[in-house]
Amino acid sequence: MKFLDHPPRFLFFTGKGGVGKTSIACATAIQLAESGKRVLLVSTDPASNVGQVFGVTIGNQVVGIEAVAGLSALEIDPQAAAQAYRDRIVGPVRGVLPEAIVKGIEEQLSGACTTEIAAFDEFTALLTDSTLTVDFDHIVFDTAPTGHTIRLLQLPGAWSGFLEEGKGDASCLGPLAGLEKQRSQYKAAVDALADGHRTRLILVARAQIATLREVARTHEELAAIGLSQQYLVVNGVLPASETAADPLAAAIHEREQAALARIPAVLKRLPCDRLALKSFNLVGLTALRQLLGSADDAMTEIDPAHTAQTSPAPLAAPDLATLVDEIAVDGHGLVMLMGKGGVGKTTLAAALAVELASRGYPVHLSTSDPAAHLSDTLDAALENLTVSQIDPHAETERYRQQVLESQGASLDAQGRALLEEDLRSPCTEEIAVFQAFSRVIREAGKKFVVMDTAPTGHTLLLLDATGAYHREIARQSRNADEHFTTPMMQLQDPKQTKVLLVTLAETTPVLEAANLQADLRRAGIEPWAWVVNNSIAATTVVSPLLRQRARNELREIDAVASRHAKRYAVVPLLAEEPIGTARLRKLANREAEPVAADGM
């Protein structure tokens, strides 16, 4: 493995949920320890299952892994860290500042930014205080801080009181309140991350065009702030040996190889390893020791009882057409698809829009995803369908100028400089995009509006807490007594808005979707349905490896159906990519002929 050649002291694994970060980090820690090194494995992933992987209880204390000499582990609980962090900041001002201000601070501290900063706060000492890690040769981190987090840490602290006085705009800067005392330690930590002799960042991806594009953006974002010592691991590549007599497996293999051939140019310069897709769950030492092996090892732990050539019957579950039937009843409304990157939101949004338009309803399909290529996905104009793409960069610049011209007009030079710094925070983009979305939302009273990539629950709550949109709508009303509906009010109304959470039938994506659902509920938005995308269990396969993975999916699909979703649909993994209006309709119309694997 190239990423294990002459490894430095700190190894960070980063990537989207479900790509295999935790498994690869654990396998790396085992391999280093069994080579004679003393290794500490640290997880800051809120979806971490390091303890389950090793079959031991791991918490916020260093625990030795008895089965592997030289290996210890530590799990930082990001939620607990975030709560302690909030208590430390809000506690001293509760009862001192007006309740409205305290609530505003609490809301600023409620989102993902706070969780990231709090987790970074927890492991900063591991990067900077050598006395804490003197017993270890290597520290392996499952989940690196994002470029977003590091940019936040690099912002100056002088705006803290500035925001509390109401001069700043809604942003995610709140999580940094009260951090001035730790700034020297944070700077040392960021310096350690940027030092290639001490730190190596391993970007983990899958062999999918959309996922590789996202990883390319992560690479550029981290390199731009000095973290240039990066390696790439493409995980879960289907072995060519699995393609015999299985048209679906052959199609997947061909698709993955095409994606790897078109890998973004910025990633081509990185040292790269490819790991074969495994059939088994990566739990236990035997499985983890095989993860970094060759493609020939992929079949080692397949259950002999499941090697017969006859395929199990495809999963019986509601399909996407069932959801479309229910959506279509109202004749109009807002449909938002939400979920983490790489789960297929853009494709499913396009499929829903195409099917609704094909039924004769006017539809506006809108996306703010910079990686979304709707023109390629749709391939042709369709009657009743309007398509728009919101440019996040253009909207952010427009929003910055708007705020500077209004709020910044009466500020002195220092105040304006602080406001400009506030507007450079990473969450400004999400707020700016929501402004653009709010313009599109108004159309949902007369047509269907399908939105790909919606703002998070935290952003919605933050905007609502500031009252920014209520005030803006009120200002725009000609009559002070005129009734108006804000975007937030519309999103909270189940008669007007249906939120669909998109996930994959894998542990981490399901957990992340459940966390997103909790975030939305806190904002008063109840998700309408879940969509489990690209399911092998919903197909017919011959490949022994894919059949075993299909069985592994059943537990996650059951969790969605029985614990998380009020209604759900399962979309099968297809032999042909759903590009073009005809194929998109087959995803959401049960009367259309299915995209059969043997049609390749």
Q: Which of 20, 111, 168, 342 is catalytic?
A: 20
The active-site residue out of 15, 17, 18, 104 is 18
Q: Dig out the tokens for 226 from the structure.
A: 């000095």
Distance (Å, whole) CA 163 – CA 343: 36
H or E stretch at 203 = strand 199-206
Query: Quick one: tokens of 4?
Result: 């294990």
Single out the catalytic residue among 23, 453, 466, 535: 23
> Among this protein's residues, is 333 annotated catalytic?
no
Beta strands 138-142 and 39-43 are parallel
Q: Give just the sign of the alpha carbon dihedral 196, 371, 265, 231.
A: positive
> Which amino acid does the sequence have at 327?
I
Is there a contact between 240 and 250 (Cβ–Cβ < 8 Å)?
Answer: no
Q: Can 268 be counted among the known catalytic residues? A: no
- Dist. CA 366–CA 119, nearest whole Å: 34
Of these residues, 14, 15, 43, 45, which one is catalytic? 45
Active-site annotation holds for 228: no
Half-sphere exposure of 339 (CA within 13 A, CB side): 29
Residue 520's nearest CA partner among 492, 487, 553, 490 is: 492
Whether 22 is catalytic:
yes
- Other C-beta atoms closer than 10 Å to the C-beta of 36 total 9
Asked if residues 144 and 76 have their Cβ atoms less than 8 Å apart, the reply is no
The SS3 assignment for 123 reads helix
Using alpha carbons, select from 518, 522, 524, 525 the residue that is nearest to residue 499. Answer: 525
Q: Is residue 146 within 8 Å of residue 116, measured between CB atoms?
A: yes
508 is catalytic: yes
Beta carbons of 399 and 431 less than 8 angstroms apart: yes
Alpha-helical segments (H) within 15-77: 21-34, 50-54
- 297: number of Cβ within 10 Å: 15
Cβ atoms of 246 and 550 within 8 Å: the answer is: no
- Of 16, 21, 345, 586, the active-site residue reads 21
State yes or no: is 23 an active-site residue: yes
146 is catalytic: no
Supply the residues annotated as catalytic.
18, 20-23, 45, 508
